[in-house]
A = this chain, B = another copy of it.
Amino acid sequence: MRMRTRSGPVRNENTHQAILEATAMLFAREGYDRLTIEGIAHEAHVGKQTIYRWWSSKGDLVAECLVAGMLLPDRLTLPDTGEIREDLRQWLTEIFRIIAEPETEGMLRSLISGAAENPQIGSRIRESLIGTDSVTGRLEAGIGQGQNLYEGAPFDEIAEALIGAVVLRALSRTPPSEEDAIRLIDAVIGPELPIPQSQR
C-alpha cells in the first residue's frame, strides 16, 4: 500500500539549518527578549514567511534550537565518575560560571524568559533535566552516597530542587561562589556523613 504524499517541493534543509543557526547566534548575542523574527530572517538570508511557515512563534524556534543543543555550551553535561557528590560539584561550578561570566551571564535567564512565555521551551528544559539518563538517573545511581539518596527517595524532586535553585540564582542575579555549590549539594542530598566507617 502506497502512502499518498502531496506533490510539490519539500522543505529545504539548508534553509532550515541556516535559520536555526541564525537564531542560536542572535540568541547568544541579544538574548531571548531582544531576539526578533526579522533579525533572524535577515541574518539567515531568508524571507520572514519561510520562518512563519515552519514555526508558529519565536518561542517555537528557540525551543527547537534548544533541543538541537545549539543554545547552551556542551560543557553542561553532568560528569560521571561514580562519585555523585563530586560530579554535582563540578557540574554546578560550571553552571555557576556561566551565570557569573558577563559574556554568558544572560543566557540562562534568557532561556527562563523563553520558558515563561513558551510552553515548549519549559517542557524541553524540564525533560532534559529530569530524564532518566540525566540528573535524576545519576542521583538514583548514587544511592547511599548522601543522606537523601536512599532506596525510594524522591529523586525527581531532588533533581528539581537542585535545578530550581540554580534557576532562582540566575533570576536573582546573585553571582554564586564555589562554596555555594557545595552548600547547595549539602542542602539537597544532605551533608557528608560526619561519622564514617564505624556507623556502617
In angstroms, Cα B154 to Cα A164, docked, is: 16
Stretch at the interface among A68-76, A79-87, A185-193: A185-193
Quick check: B110 and A184 within 8 Å, CB to CB?
Answer: no
Quick check: A165 and B161 within 8 Å, CB to CB?
Answer: yes
In angstroms, Cα B167 to Cα A44, docked, is: 34
Residues of B within 8 A of A200 (CB): 199
Q: How many copies does the complex hold?
A: 4
Q: Is the CB of A78 closer than 8 A to any CB of chain B?
A: no
Residues of B within 8 A of A150 (CB): 191
CB-based nearest B residue for A168: B164
Q: Is the CB of A141 closer than 8 A to any CB of chain B?
A: no
In angstroms, Cα B59 to Cα A113, docked, is: 13
Minimum Cβ distance to chain B for residue A171 (Å):
5
Quick check: B162 and A167 within 8 Å, CB to CB?
Answer: no
Quick check: B157 and A163 within 8 Å, CB to CB?
Answer: no
Stretch at the interface among A10-18, A19-27, A93-101, A120-128: A120-128
Contacting A167 at CB < 8 Å: which of B119, B167, B174, B199? B167
In angstroms, Cα B186 to Cα A158, docked, is: 9
Q: Is the CB of A29 closer than 8 A to any CB of chain B?
A: no
Minimum Cβ distance to chain B for residue A49 (Å):
11
Q: Is the CB of A65 closer than 8 A to any CB of chain B?
A: no
Minimum Cβ distance to chain B for residue A195 (Å):
9
